Structure 1
């Protein structure tokens, strides 16, 4: 009967039949394959709402047996900057590829790395750090599977878009503008009360909500506190007053959904240094996690009532030029154990709280391991509890929540030029996963939950 079908319709039927039937595969041997036109399916599990700090299972189905493919991930931040990662793989004998079982053969990473396509994302333009400015919206990660390996992957066989959120369903975001305090409070689902944590960022300043929003999804009431370069707050850190942080702490403790009698502190870099200062001078603090913090006051004077900590001295001659426009500042700060710079040491021995120090052993911002050890010595010399210190070989300064891409270098606000932060990509990524678990365990233990 097909002979009586008009020519144009016969052509249409032929094209439809060709599209509906994949080309036959001819497998020559265990490691050989012949190209096919079969479309591949990229899946991400769990398929529902996923937060940035949660792992997912990425798989590809519909490939030829043992077919070589390249997987590529990309996202654009809120300013339009592009971040990308790729890795080469080979499908199994059934034409499937599961990143939990298949090692990467090279690319942005190698070996068995189920989340490698996320933590290995690199900026298209060097020395750019991935930040989340609006935690109420997700990052959209585009995943693509491409035919072949080197020198250049060929056509796209399949793609999917994977959204990574920063607010777990039910987490509430409350802007705080009370007295002088400028912050955002994140509350878990339900009515509480919950253990309270104050989250203090580093010398980047502003109001950084990312870590606090993710931590609130773990059962904590977390306040992300701004302290400079935001709204009507000071523009720099030349003169900071702990009374501001005390006011913020009292606000958090008085909130009906925050349970006392004390709160936790979480700070990274300059924020970690400020957490040590708060624990040393203020009451009402039960536990503090310090991520790559300093035992000396850095960048400007710190005041509390009639006491002042001067900033530790800086010797710019100790800056090492790595290459044009990029420096290493690991040795820039004066030693706090000798001379007038001893006055800059935070009197951590006064603290009544329990400490957890998370340390990147390849931190090139400053000597975080030395500061953690010195803090431990001072506490124990005054009869205080020995703090827990967890060190991560191969981790640099910017220890963030899990799966945030490794940032080897970027602009340092206080230095005014790009610096190296230290670290090795895979070791740093693994440190972020473990540090996130450790700080949650620490806070649940000492604050309740």
Structure 2
């Protein structure tokens, strides 16, 4: 009996869904020295690879029960081959821009362990989709708003969310497209470095975000009378500003965000909100030559930064603040504490804060390989973002569930997602 690679679901699945991987029909000696290898190429042709060594004398290898003995990871990790994918070229980062096409993952089963030569026993290809069946994608070119709207299956209306990424700019759709598969109408909003939008953050005006919120609220397939906000990094402090100054916001989730306006001044009508003071002279350089930005940001509570602080006490509706405790981009845990103290000082309810040990700055949906070091879009230099791979990946799975539950509760009035314990 030849070795066979079994995937459940077979053929294809959504990116944020786990895949069961098993191998059947291994000869006794093969079962003691089996290696599995995963690889994919991104939209630019860059190669990402991972491998793991296994030993199981029963002739069947199930990654839900068999721990990896070595390779790209060790221990029991059923999805380790995907979360541990590493770029062939240094500093590469797996990002999905065109969500209309799947990511094709090649899986191979080999006879042998390093440093022995491997012999291919069997292989399979699995497609990982970003659009669940029935999810609709609409390009948005309404007034100044440049975005993509994702509508879940069914007639609707569905609870609405506006989704913002950080200082890399452009239009990032992968998180919004996946979230739409869980019952939300999600607007992936670009705000600079895209089409005719400003090239630099210095030219950003809050009126643009107000127009985007109005667009979502007025859409016939969005359930009113309010929406939620989801923001990461720079997009997080923009979401806090939106929630503080704009109407129609019920629930706000921020991932590793600051409580002050960062990087560039924010214009609004006849006022300007200054940026948090930073000192590039305090950027640390690691032994490998990478930038660590954490100490370059000043304390938001210092008198010189008072004008840049976001007036969270004006927000109507609850917060969920997600924190990576090994965030090397900036002091996310400290900022979350400031947010909590400020809200309670003004008689507001304490925000829900979830802190994940060993987790870095870039918290993505499940099974994205952690981005620990990458080239910063503004600085043009390699920046350390932190995170221990296994802990970070586990946090991404749980945070994704927490985000869904929070929005279902405060936009739909229900809970529908079970949580794993961290």
TM superposition score normalised by structure 2: 0.96
Counterpart of 1:63? 26
Q: Which moved more, 1:145-154 or 1:102-111?
A: 145-154
Counterpart of 1:174? 138
Counterpart of 1:241? 205
Separation in 2 of the partners of 1:91 and 1:291? 40
Counterpart of 1:8? none
| Aligned-pair CA distance for 1:92 | 3.6
1:166-218 alpha-carbon deviations (Å, 9 max, x no partner): 00000000000000000000001111000000000111110000000000000
Instruction: List runs of 5+ in structure 1 lacking aligned partners.
Output: 1-37
1:30-87 alpha-carbon deviations (Å, 9 max, x no partner): xxxxxxxx63211110115410000010001111124311100000000010100000
1:399 to 351, 363, 381: 363
| Aligned-pair CA distance for 1:239 | 2.8
1:219 to 167, 170, 183: 183
Instruction: List runs of 5+ in structure 2 lacking aligned partners.
Output: 415-422
* 8 A Cα contact 1:170 1:189, kept in partner: yes
Counterpart of 2:290? 326
| Aligned-pair CA distance for 1:323 | 3.1
Are 1:96 and 2:32 matched, yes or no?
A: no
2:5 to 36, 42, 49: 42
* 8 A Cα contact 2:152 2:185, kept in partner: yes
| Aligned-pair CA distance for 1:108 | 0.7
Equivalenced residues, count: 411
SS in 1 for 2:304: helix
RMSD: 1.1
Instruction: Write out aligned runs for 1:337-416 (5 A).
Output: 337-416=301-380
Instruction: Write out aligned runs for 1:109-120 (5 A).
Output: 109-120=73-84
Separation in 1 of the partners of 2:117 and 2:35? 7
Counterpart of 2:251? 287
SS in 2 for 1:427: helix
Counterpart of 2:40? 75
Structure exhibiting the larger radius of gyration computed from Cα positions = 1
Separation in 2 of the partners of 1:153 and 1:350? 64
* 8 A Cα contact 1:392 1:431, kept in partner: yes
Please list every run of at least 4 consecutive aligned residues from structure 1 whose deviation after the TM superposition is greater than 3 angstroms. Answer: none
* 8 A Cα contact 1:363 1:421, kept in partner: yes
1:445 to 393, 405, 409: 409
Counterpart of 2:419? none
Are 1:86 and 2:51 matched, yes or no?
A: yes
Q: Which moved more, 1:185-194 or 1:331-340?
A: 331-340
SS in 1 for 2:107: strand
Separation in 1 of the partners of 2:288 and 2:388? 21
Q: Which moved more, 1:336-345 or 1:285-294?
A: 336-345
Instruction: Indicate how the Cα distance of structure 1 residues 297 and 394 shifts in structure 2: closer, same or farther if over 3 A, else same.
Output: same
| Aligned-pair CA distance for 1:325 | 3.8
Separation in 1 of the partners of 2:386 and 2:62? 32
* 8 A Cα contact 1:287 1:354, kept in partner: yes
Q: Which moved more, 1:420-429 or 1:317-326?
A: 317-326
Are 1:159 and 2:146 matched, yes or no?
A: no
